[in-house]
Amino acid sequence: MNQVCILLTIFLICYNNYCVLAGGIGFNTSDIKNGNCVIATPADLVKTEHVHKTGIPFMTRSATSEWLGNKKIYCLQVMNQKPSSDGSTVSITSGGVGYNFVKLAMKSTKGHGLDYNIQIYAKLYF
């Protein structure tokens, strides 16, 4: 029986109240709160989306979400509305904080659905 062990190191880098999860691309988690969300204002909200897919017995559900604009993202929040025990994950597949685009991938566990609220805040300069 072959065993594979992977060591994953995650760094949270902060400077002037601006935080970035280093190595965050491809990292699966139940929720994402990335960047300086303390200063997020409704005027900077460039995308809000509710992703909902009902669970189907013995099947996984998946969804993607993308945003591309002319502003740089400074806050990205993807919050799972279901209990974290349901096992669904979200990951940044490309872009994110500091970029003018982001691609997200969400996946449920077998028999469970998806229920995520996505908020993206961006400015021309930050």
What would the pLDDT profile of 70-119 be if each residue is shown by its tens digit? 999 999 999 999 887 688 999 999 999 999 999 999 999 999 999 999 99
Confidence of residue 125 (pLDDT cuts 50, 70, 90): confident
pLDDT value of position 36: 92
pLDDT value of position 26: 55
Q: Are 48 and 119 in contact (CB under 8 A)?
A: yes
CA 20, 63, 30, 82 torsion-angle sign: positive
Tokens 């930050």 correspond to what residue? 126
Q: What percent of the chain lies above the pLDDT cut of 70?
A: 76
